Structure 1
Amino acid sequence: MQMSGAECFVLRWPEPNDFGHERMTLLLRIDGAAGLSGWGEAIAMWPEAIKATQILIEQGFLPLLRDRDIGDVEACWQAMKAQSWWYGEGGIASIAISAVDMALWDLKAKEAGKPLVALFGAVHESLPACASLHVNQATIEASVAEISGHITAGFRSTKLGLGKRGLSRAGRDPDYDVALVAALRAAVGPDAGIMVDAGNGTKWDVDTAIRTVRRMEEQAIAWIEEPFNPIDVEAHKALAAAISTPLAVGEREYTLAGYRRWLDTGIVDVFGLDPARIEGVTGFRRAAAAIEAEGKVVNAHAWSTAVLTGASLHLSLASKTAELFELKPLPGPMQFDLVEDPFWHVNGLVSAPDRPGHGAEPRTAILERYRLS
């Protein structure tokens, strides 16, 4: 299979799940034969990072693959890794590889006439839907009303992003955070899962994290995610030793080596993987294999466009230790307008569409509406 063309799309849109703030991403279309194209995504977020990612794709990786058999996706991935040797491990290079690799796998599955998961073997027919959200309402009562509404609407669990943009004090006041979780548990009952994602906006020291998570444990939270900057491994170790709640990390890793470093600590129970950052479908599967071999949970991070959601869903259904699938609960243009058939849950379960590729074919009109370059 030869590449007949390719095009990058830099998009910016108002995200309802981020309190209406604008977000950015880069989508990539790679054309093969017989009118088929594959789509990938690179989440670089900031304008300067997206510009750098686009340069690496257009001036580095696409010319590298122009005369190759792009049906041999593994060989293409290895070639990109070799090309990026001097870029440094991870970061923009991994994000750029992600878009190309994801598009190639989408195209390969379309050429085969199969859903992407069929190329790997489905382990799950469906996964429980998790409402992955930012806590941004002004009061605990308003936040609980909104979040519990998603559970009533069928979601089996929710992940609370603290320290986000909006009106809430969540992530900035530990007492408030504990009260929020307690009120939410009272509202949704004992069966709904509650995960807490401290995130980059929450600035806990170790003692504060230990005290806060121990108090949240009274509400049976399912896990605590990224309570510190990922470079502070010692803080994570100290917290893990002091709590019984599972610890989740990984959203801000870029390579298999990064996940192996966390695996070697023995403290992580749930690993977040984002195929638009960790060198695509190939990178995801390599990291997932290492994580599964240790009996740990693989959890896809799919918080951007429907292209990432599609790839993440197929990968999750092929991952032995995946336990749920995260969806943004509020309809937005990159989830509901970008594709004809948005990814959603049915009775709280998420299944992959039975169509070739990862199932996310962007609509031209929507691409042009939100395109910057």
Structure 2
Amino acid sequence: MRITGMTPYVLRWPEPNDFGHDRMTVLLAVDTDAGLRGWGEAIAMWPEACRATVAVIADGFAPLLRGRDASDTQGCWDAMKAQSWWYGEGGIATLALSAVDMALWDLKARDRGVPLVHLWGARHEALPACASLHVNQPTIEDSVRDIAAHFAAGFRSAKLGLGKKGLSRAGRDPDYDVALVKALRAAIGLDGGIMVDAGNGTVWDLKTAIRTVDRMAEYDIAWIEEPFHPSRVADHVALKKAVPVPLAAGEREWQAAGYRRWIETGAIDVFGLDPARIEGVTGFRLAADAVEKAGATVNAHAWSTAVLTGASLHLSLASPSAQLFELKPLAGPMQFDLVDEPFWHEDGLVRAPARPGHGAEPKMATIEKYRVG
């Protein structure tokens, strides 16, 4: 099964889970002389980053790997690392490598006729579904109504993204944020899980973070995510010592080495891993291994298309440290139009499909509808 070509697709679509704002990504099809096609994704996000990712794939990795055995995922990964040694320790080259590696693992499982998770062995039959959402309604009451509806529809937990574009003050007023968590806990009762993702749009100093998270702890939040910019390592360490709430971080890391550095700080309990960013499926497995050995939690950051969802789900089911799986709760084109059989939960549990590979087969009609490059 030799690699014969790679075709990248830059997509732009309105995301209902992000208040209708446009989002972008790069999907990648890798073809072989066996007639099989595998799919990967680089979550490049911005127009210039998407164009640069395409350039690295088209001018660098595609000619490098043409004619190589597509099932030799480690050999291809090593070759891409060697090719990009000068410019690939994070950033655009890492995004490009992620897309290629993901597609190759998809091909490897398709060639063997098995779901991707079977290549490693499943540690979970299913994982509880978490509604991964952005808080963007104008009032707390409106937001709680919407979020509670996801619990009523079967989700076991919800992750509240603060500081997002939209109508809400969430992430910009700590008192508002605490009141939101309090009202949601009252609405859903004691059983539902609540995670708070402060995110890039929320800017807290250390004192504000300690005070806010400590107040949220009264309402039993499962973790606080990205409370500071990743560069503020000392503040993460101080917050960890000051509050009784687990800390989550990692979605903006690039490689396993970055996760090992975070592990050494002792500050992080839940590590977000994105295989469309951290050197693909191979990179995810390397990072997850370090997280698992540290006794921390692996949590897939899979907030893009169904291709990323499929790969992330199989990786999560193979990790003994995964506790849940995040899904976008509102139907959007990259989850429900891109593939014939969308990934979803049943009775609050997410299972991998029995289809070979990661289970996401994009429809070319949808790709062409949203293709911008």
Q: Deviations over 1:301-330 (max 9, x none)?
A: 000000000000000000011000000000
Does 2:208 match 1:208?
A: yes
Structure 2 equivalent of residue 159 of structure 1: 159
Contact preservation (8 Å) 2:159, 2:196: yes
The alpha carbon displacement at 1:238 in A equals 1.0
| Corresponding residue for residue 41 of structure 1 | 41
- 1:238 and 2:234 equivalent? no
CA deviations on 1:202-260 (whole Å, 9 max, x unpaired) are 00000000000000000000000000000110111111110010000000001011001
Distance 2:364 2:252 in 1: 31
Contact 2:71 2:104 in 1 (8 A): yes
CA distance in 2, matches of 1:34, 1:2: 7
3-state secondary structure, aligned to 1:123: coil
Moved more, 65-74 or 229-238: 65-74
Q: How does 1:330-345 map onto structure 2 within 5 Å?
A: 330-345=330-345
Q: How does 1:211-360 map to 2 (within 5 A)?
A: 211-360=211-360
Amino acid at match of 2:244: S
**Distance of 2:65 and 2:33 partners within structure 1:** 15
Supply the distance in 1 between the matched residues of 2:260 and 2:293 (Cα, whole angstroms).
11
Structure 1 position 82, deviation (Å): 1.0
Deviation at 1:351, TM superposition (A): 0.1
Q: What residue number does 1:14 align with? A: 14
Residue 63 of structure 1 corresponds to: 63
Name the SS of the counterpart of 1:271 in structure 2: strand
| Partner AA of 1:196 in structure 2 | V
Q: Note if contact 2:296-2:321 (Cα within 8 Å) is conserved in structure 1.
A: yes
8 A contact 2:5–2:62 mirrored in 1: no
Residue 5 of structure 1: CA displacement? 2.0
What is the deviation of 1:88?
4.4
For 2:280 and 2:34, locate their aligned partners in 1 and report how far apart those are by CA, in whole Å.
Answer: 24
Residues 70 and 107 in structure 2, CA contact (< 8 A), matched pair in contact too: no
Q: Could you say what secondary structure the match of 2:20 adopts?
A: coil
Partner AA of 1:32 in structure 2:
T
Deviation at 1:108, TM superposition (A): 0.7
Contact 2:2 2:34 in 1 (8 A): no
Counterpart of 2:65, as a letter, is: L
Question: 2:237 touches 2:266 (CA, 8 Å); kept in 1?
Answer: no
Q: CA RMSD of the aligned region, Å? A: 0.6
Q: Deviations over 1:138-188 (max 9, x none)?
A: 000000000000001000000000000100000000000000000000000
Q: How high is the TM-score relative to the length of structure 2? A: 0.99
1:368 positional shift? 0.5
Pairing of 1:67-86 with structure 2 (within 5 A): 67-86=67-86
| Native 8 Å contact 2:88 2:94 kept in 1 | no
Who is 1:54 aligned against? 54
Identity of aligned residues (%): 72
Deviation of 1:34 (Å):
3.2
Q: Secondary structure at the match of 1:71?
A: coil
**Counterpart amino acid of residue 289 in structure 2:** A
SS at match of 2:26: strand
Structure 2 vs 1, CA of residues 221 and 19 (structure 1 numbering), >3 Å: closer, same or farther? same
Give SS of 1:179's match. helix
Shift of the alpha carbon at 1:67? 2.8
Instruction: Give distance in 1, aligned partners of 2:285 and 2:3.
Output: 24
CA–CA separation in structure 1 for the residues paired with 2:302 and 2:154? 19
Letter in 2 for 1:223: W
5+ long unaligned stretches in structure 1:
none
CA distance in 2, matches of 1:232, 1:177: 22
Map 1:130-169 to 2 at 5 A: 130-169=130-169
Match of 1:368 in 2: 368
Instruction: Indicate the SS of the match to 1:85.
Output: coil
- Write out aligned runs for 1:116-195 (5 A): 116-195=116-195
Residue aligned with 1:87, SS: coil
User: Residue 161 of structure 2 contacts residue 197 of structure 2 at CA under 8 Å; is this kept in 1?
Assistant: yes
Tell me by how many angstroms 1:35 deviates: 2.1
Aligned length: 373
The amino acid of 2:354's aligned partner reads D
Query: Residue 100 of structure 1 aligns with which residue?
Result: 100
Please give the secondary structure, in 2, of the residue aligned with 1:219.
coil
CA deviations on 1:185-207 (whole Å, 9 max, x unpaired) are 00000010000000000000000
Query: Taking structure 1 as the reference length, what is the TM-score of the superposition?
Result: 0.99
Equivalent-residue separation in structure 2 for 1:288 and 1:5 (angstroms)? 30
